[in-house]
Amino acid sequence: MAEKGKKDKNIPNGEESKEETTPETPPVVEQPASTTGDLAPVAAAPTTALVAPTDVEDPEDYALILATAKNKLQTVLEELQGRLVRPEEQQDILRLIVQATPNTQGVEEMDERWSIPVVRVVQGMTREKPDNARVGDLYTTAGDVLKGGAELTPLYIYETNRMFAQDNKGPVCFAPDAKLGSLFSYCRQCPNQPLGKNSSGQATDCDNGICAIVLSADMKLYRMEFYRTSKKAGRQLFTYAKQSPAIWHKWFSLSTVQQKNDKGEFFVLKIVATGKETAAHIREASVALYTMISTERKAYIKTHYDQVLSGGVKATKVDESTDFLPGKKKEEGTGGTNPDLSDAGI
């Protein structure tokens, strides 16, 4: 277990990620796994025994629940496309249908899941990136480079906690809802509770981050990870988005900005409100996408709790098709939006 109060050497001076997060969407699950709630540091947790969420059906077959949700999403999107008159709007929905039901030639015998790419920032020491990506560019784990940034609207926002070993080769403990860790149990009872969530005001080896599933203006789904120096942008997205009746009612601009301190130069994510509202067909599609994501997330959180509480497994075994889980290495999953900052000495 990491030493309590240990500073994170990878965070630039003055960038210790004290902010917190959550969306104004309905709670994913009830106590203790809700992804919404008070953003302020919580008080000490009661000493009652842990219980799994009770507001979702028992996911005896995670794959079946996910497949059912995807089929429903496809049906809703196809019905929406059929009602639209303008060709450009029909094309928007078609792009989403294609993503939700991948059918790539040449991989018919493989399990072709719907996987949402993660958006990251190219740092000076980033090793795995597209060849045409330059320092400061945004790129995705699907190999795309988002030159000049992107315009997006959020569909789902939630918090996570994760702690890596000193060698950064894998998460020691991961709490997909920032409530229950895969190894150290209830986060509010853990001495490694992240800065901004604990009552001591001290940094620990565990990080709290903001994650968001977003829809870009060109109808692509991405996952954003706002940790450490980029966490401020994640909180800004949440603050902006919650001002609308639903968080997908406005477009936001995503870009990067360069920062510098005594440890070097680096880039962080930046979110700016464009003032533009999303179109009616985008909002209707967003509701369907939200339902799909929410259903998947409920089943995943329930499975996570069942597995952790049944035997204290070191990692949830369900591999989410929407890519919520961390990868095997820090660079491959939930290692933060800027996974190579540590390699740069920042």
Amino acid letter, 50: L
Query: Is the bond preceding residue 32 a cis peptide, omega within 30 degrees?
Result: yes
What's the whole-model pTM score? 0.74
Residue 331's pLDDT is what? 35
Residue 124's pLDDT is what? 86
Amino acid letter, 78: E
Give the distance from CA 160 to its chain's centroid.
8
* Residue closest to 267 by CA, chosen among 122, 93, 75, 165: 122
Residue 167's pLDDT is what? 64
186: β partners: 180
d(CA 7, CA 137): 29
d(CA 210, CA 232): 9
Residue pair 99/105 in contact by the 8 Å Cβ criterion? no
d(CA 305, CA 294): 16
Residue 191's pLDDT is what? 87
Contacts of 145 (CB under 8 A, 6+ apart): 130, 132, 133, 137, 138, 139
Helix H, strand E, coil C: the string for the chain is CCCCCCCCCCCCCCCCCCCCCCCCCCCCCCCCCCCCCCCCCCCCCCCCCCCCCCCCCCCCCHHHHHHHHHHHHHHHHHHHHHHCCCHHHHHHHHHHHHHHCCCCCCCCCCCCCCCCCEEEECCCCCCCCCCCCCCCCEEECCCCEECCCEEEEEEEEEEEEEEECCCCCCEEEEECCCCEECCCEEHHHCCCCCCCCCCCCCCCCEEEEEEEEEEECCCCEEEEEECHHHHHHHHHHHHHHCCCCCCCCEEEEEEEEEEEECCEEEEEEEEEEEEEECCHHHHHHHHHHHHHHHHHHHHHHHHHHHHHHHHCCCCCCCCCCCCCCCCCCHHHCCCCCCCCCCCCCC
Residue 261's pLDDT is what? 81
Torsion of CA 273, 219, 19, 53, to 10 degrees: 140
pLDDT means per 10 residues, the chain with 346 residues, are 42 38 34 30 35 48 83 94 97 91 69 78 87 91 92 96 75 88 88 81 85 96 91 93 95 94 88 96 97 91 87 49 38 38 38
d(CA 242, CA 83): 29
Residue pair 304/186 in contact by the 8 Å Cβ criterion? no
Residue 114's pLDDT is what? 66
* Residue closest to 323 by CA, chosen among 218, 176, 220, 185: 176
